[in-house]
Amino acid sequence: MFDNVAFPLRIHTDLSEDLIRDLVLIKLQAVGLRGAAGLFPTELSGGMIRRVALARTIALDPSLVMYDEPFAGLDPIAMGVIVQLIKTVNRVYGTTSVIVSHDIAETASIADYIYVLSDGRLIGSGTPQELMGQESPRVKQFVKGLPDGPVPFHYPAIDFADELLQNGSRG
């Protein structure tokens, strides 16, 4: 795991190995994994793998970090850890984060501003508080996780009772 985080520093800088060591330990400390520096990827949980990826990402102190579904497949504890880490990275390193996610509550707890896309179009935007109060049925369905609305749960079909009567003769 140590070498994974050190890789971008070794490739993109002329820093000494001593300085790289210190920077890697700082980044692993930031994600709570300094004590696991000697572990191999096969020894890590899913949440730990995400945290190592974040340490590697911030190794070069980027001003912008893009996340694609950072909460997918995580248990509630690991998800809470990742949410806190993203907030901490933003605050401590002055990083701007762009998060693409279907996890509204977690994203809203981090975001200053949210854009809601549907069918390749922007359907809503605003602060998390503004989005929660939007009247647009499509935005409301998405941010509140409603099972039915403009995006129907049921695929279009003829009336169910009619279909049962039609197929009654198939026996």
Catalytic-residue membership of 43 = no
Q: How far apart are CA 51 and CA 86, in angstroms?
A: 10
Residue 151, both tokens:
């995006």
- For residue 114, list its beta bridge partners: 126
SS3 136: coil
Q: For the residues of 11-32, what is the DSSP string, one character each?
A: HH----HHHHHHHHHHHHHHTT
Contacts of 45 (CB under 8 A, 6+ apart): 78
Judged by DSSP in three states, 100 sits in strand
Side-chain-facing half-sphere of 54: CA atoms under 13 Å: 30
Choose the catalytic residue: 69, 106, 130, 163: 69
Return the half-sphere exposure (C-beta side, CA atoms, 13 A cut-off) of residue 80: 3
Measured between its terminal Cα atoms, the distance across the chain in Å is 62
* Residues annotated as part of the active site: 69
